[in-house]
Amino acid sequence: MQRPKLSGDRVNSRWWYWIAAVPTVFAFWLVTVAWVAFAISVDPGLVGESGPPFVVRLFLALPQATLVSLVAVGIPFVVLTALFPFAVFQDTQAINRAELDWEPSGNYALVALVGLVALAGLALTDLSLAVIVGFVLSVPFSLYYLRKRHEHVGVP
């Protein structure tokens, strides 16, 4: 027995996987920050000998945890941020070729480019800040795009 055809089957594009990877990597990064902050706060010798309460140690560990986790997730996210506008452009082109009721314009790719421009501009001054700003600018748009794509195409 064959499954019924979905409207998304007419769109010959898997570029949305790359778009969906942006919020996925962001969520993984948040989990990594929380885990590293917890690990740092468990050992009070890492944040000071005075022995503040656990909650205070956890709060004090967040900046260190953010930097440590960017080492693991920063490079993949920089690659995703560079690929993100291209993936949005390719996916919108495939949707337009499928002649669905939704015809996303090239402006979607330009909006996706904002995160890459901010990342490149800030990378000269502070690389960790650049990656965080890239996250902040790319994740909401990728979620918006995926929601619109789901409403009109049915996939993801």
What pLDDT shows up at residue 27?
93
How much of the chain, in percent, has pLDDT values that exceed 70?
A: 89
- What would the mean pLDDT of 17-35 be, rounded to a whole number? 93
Mean pLDDT of 104-116: 93
Give the highest mean pLDDT range of 86-90, 96-100, 150-154: 86-90
What's the pLDDT score for residue 80? 92
> For residue 70, what pLDDT is reported?
85
Q: Is the peptide bond before 140 cis (omega within 30 degrees of 0)?
A: no
2 or 104, which is more confident: 104
- Rounded to an integer, what distance in angstroms lies between the CA atom of residue 104 and that of residue 140? 17
- Per-residue confidence band for 33, with pLDDT thresholds at 50, 70 and 90: confident
pLDDT of residue 127 exceeding 70, the answer is yes
Q: Say whether pLDDT at 6 is over 60.
A: no
Q: Which residues of 41-60 are buried (b: 16+ CB within 10 A; e: fewer)?
A: beebeebeeeeeeeeebbeb
* Confidence (pLDDT) at 49: 57
Reported as a pLDDT band with limits 50, 70 and 90, residue 110 is: very high
Gap between the Cα atoms of 145 and 20, Å rounded: 9
Phi, psi dihedrals of residue 108, rounded to the nearest 5°: -60, -45
